[in-house]
Amino acid sequence: MSLEKADIEKIAHLARLEIDPGDVPDYARNLSGILELVEQMNQVDTEGVQPMAHPLRMTQRMRADEVTESNQRDKFQQIAPQVEAGLYLVPKVIE
Amino acid sequence: MHNKTITELAAGLRAKEFSSVELTRYYLERISRYDEQLNSYVTVCTDHALQQAEAADRAIAAGDAVSLTGIPLAQKDIFCTDGVKTSCGSRMLDNFIAPYDAGVVERCNGAGMVMLGKTNMDEFAMGSSNETSYYGPVHNPWDLDAVPGGSSGGSAAAVAARLAPVATGTDTGGSIRQPASLCGITGLKPTYGRVSRYGMIAFASSLDQGGVMARSAEDASLLLNVMAGFDERDSTSAEQPVPDYGATLNNSVAGLKIGLPKEYFAEGLSADVARAIESAVDEYRKLGAEVKEISLPNTNLAVPTYYVIAPAECSSNLSRFDGVRFGYRCDNPVDLEDLYKRSRGEGFGAEVKRRIMIGTYALSAGYYDAYYLKAQQLRHLISEDFARAFEEVDVIMGPTSPTVAFNLGEKSSDPVSMYLSDIYTIAVNLAGLPGMSIPAGFVDQRPVGLQIIGNYFDEARLLNVAHRFQQVTDWHTHAPQQFKD
């Protein structure tokens, strides 16, 4: 699978990554190389093989529906890029 | 002092031969003398460490000390540390002062250990050479032109150069074992779920596992005793009892069944590394172990499978870095999408972006079955290879890495050749098994690592098998010339 410039731009958009236009050819070449490696997977017929999502085949633990976290908003907002009145600020979304 | 094991250091502290403050100052002084050449630390916590050391000395004086009270260690900069910068090797987190401690850090603090600092690493643990770090590459203490391996390259170099008696690491595809091998130290990646992932910045959640980097199996067992155990805040933490890993170190290995996978000695393995591994295996024969050839037929599919699963999970995990609540934010975003794209585009380095994009592609509509589902099916086959092998043998041995440390810059422009340097370590993560690397000789003055793979939750046996080797060989006691004194 060889990726073209337009593919890279589309994937970068889906991943919300700004890519310098000058770097797009490098990404196309490197990602195509990685996909070529990945395509070695097709050497093996996996028809009917159970997919393995988790190494220990565990089921997720459940816990009681109780509050376990305390409110630490002030502490967490100390490291935020921009806050005001306890709110995280982002550029205007609705005009 | 810097050649003492942590067992010896703990005994010295108890006997009041030196205090934890003196020991901590000694290591801080070595770091300031040597680390400019190595770049193994991102952050050195001088004041914080001395406070912890003072508290440790008070505990020792009061008779409240536990086994590692007052012993200094280095934490990989992937573990969140309350009030201390936790960068994960990334510009994205260059300004991130973690607001809480990771489970591993809590346990080390609770055991009275002293955190010297946070070690350098490949950005978000994505790399095999430490060259993807925002803070620049780490140099290998055995040869400053060589890479230390990655991603836990800072921890490996710091332990090898005696800039920390012991350190933590994490291993998603070989990130403890490969740098341990390349730097000539002892590294152990436990079974998936053995060590808490709480507060350990996630790369690929079904593969990530924290572990230990030490100068000997005995030292590794002491730190694993502190780190291992159930943590309810990690949804995949194993609820298994933790044995005393020191208690079985001296068990005999006579009759131990060792499997050598023929695929690990095939094309691609350096002939010199192969010879070192064969003579290490001969030591086990002398100790009475039985050695037989086994087969792990899907070995060559591990790297391709991993480079779907790990990027897929990474693309999901790293979506949290959006410039809104913490971490890097671009200047003057014009709208929300610009904020996301530029914060992520400027905050992440090239390798992280490559993996996010591969993962995004593999998970995108229409490709899921061809990539992610296929990879999970192969993951099943790879783990069955190991299950069959462990019906016949107790441990599996082979090289940790196909070559000794390569030079800085040698593979950094070709991601695929870099990925293939993890060919012997990646399958272990896919299966979730424990694995170790221990020093087993030198080629061209660069260390060779012997990999030992065990069955699930068989860390005690791995440490025992490694310790017996270290009692009859002295590879693990060699120190790099430049950092000897």
Q: Is B353 one of the catalytic residues?
A: no
Question: Is residue B209 included in any domain, yes or no?
Answer: yes
Question: Is residue A62 included in any domain, yes or no?
Answer: no
- Amino acid B184 reads G
Q: Each residue of A44-72: pLDDT tens digit? A: 999 999 999 888 867 778 889 999 889 99
Confidence of residue B446 (pLDDT cuts 50, 70, 90): very high
pLDDT, residue A1, reads 67
Q: What is the mean pLDDT of residues B210-215?
A: 98
Question: Is residue A68 included in any domain, yes or no?
Answer: no
Kindly report the CATH number assigned to the domain that includes residue A9.
1.10.20
Question: Is residue B267 included in any domain, yes or no?
Answer: no
Beta strands in B18-153 (DSSP E): 41-44, 72-76, 114-119
Mean predicted lDDT score pLDDT of chain B: 97
Q: What is the mean pLDDT of residues B351-362?
A: 97
Residue span of the structural domain in which B161 resides: 6-255+458-483
- A16 neighbourhood in chain B, CB within 8 Å: 319, 322, 337, 340-341, 344
Instruction: Report residue B46 as tokens.
Output: 């001088």
Question: Is residue A39 included in any domain, yes or no?
Answer: yes
Task: Give yes or no for residue B149 having a pLDDT over 90.
Answer: yes
Question: Is residue A12 included in any domain, yes or no?
Answer: yes
Q: Number of folded domains in chain A?
A: 1
Confidence of residue B152 (pLDDT cuts 50, 70, 90): very high
Residue span of the structural domain in which A21 resides: 5-43
pLDDT, residue A69, reads 87
Q: What is the mean pLDDT of residues B413-437?
A: 95
Is B377 within 8 Å of A52 when comparing Cβ atoms? yes
* B187, B177 Cβ separation under 8 angstroms: yes
Question: Is residue A87 included in any domain, yes or no?
Answer: no
Question: Is residue B145 included in any domain, yes or no?
Answer: yes
pLDDT, residue B27, reads 98
- Sign of the torsion angle spanned by Cα atoms A39, A44, A45, A46: negative
From the candidates B91, B303, B314, B353, which should be mutated to test the interface with A, based on the most A CB atoms within 10 A?
B353
Question: Is residue B474 included in any domain, yes or no?
Answer: yes
Is B378 within 8 Å of A46 when comparing Cβ atoms? yes
Question: Is residue A18 included in any domain, yes or no?
Answer: yes
Q: What is the mean pLDDT of residues A78-84?
A: 96
Task: Give yes or no for residue B463 having a pLDDT over 80.
Answer: yes
- Give the gap in angstroms from C-alpha A62 to the nearest C-alpha of chain B: 9
Task: Give yes or no for residue B327 having a pLDDT over 90.
Answer: yes
Question: Is residue B288 included in any domain, yes or no?
Answer: no
From the candidates A41, A66, A94, which should be mutated to test the interface with B, based on the most B CB atoms within 10 A?
A41
* B437, B177 Cβ separation under 8 angstroms: yes
Kindly report the CATH number assigned to the domain that includes residue B17.
3.90.1300.10
Q: Number of folded domains in chain B?
A: 1
Pick from B208, B240, B278: nearest CA to B458: B240
CA B392/CA B380 separation, integer angstroms: 19
Contacts for B93-96: CB closer than 8 Å, 24+ residues apart: B93/B201, B93/B321, B93/B327, B93/B328, B94/B134, B94/B328, B95/A79, B95/B327, B95/B328, B96/A79, B96/B326, B96/B327
Q: What is the mean pLDDT of residues B45-59?
A: 98
- Give the gap in angstroms from C-alpha B397 to the nearest C-alpha of chain A: 21
Is A41 within 8 Å of B206 when comparing Cβ atoms? no
Question: Is residue A58 included in any domain, yes or no?
Answer: no
What contacts A69, CB < 8 A, 6 or more positions away?
none
Please state, for a pLDDT cut of 90, what percent of chain B lies above it: 98
Q: Each residue of B367-402: pLDDT tens digit? A: 999 999 999 999 999 999 999 999 999 999 999 999
- In this predicted complex, what is the ipTM? 0.96
Q: Which residues are registered as beta bridge partners of B453?
A: B396, B435
Is A55 within 8 Å of B326 when comparing Cβ atoms? no
Question: Is residue A91 included in any domain, yes or no?
Answer: no
Task: Give yes or no for residue B364 having a pLDDT over 80.
Answer: yes
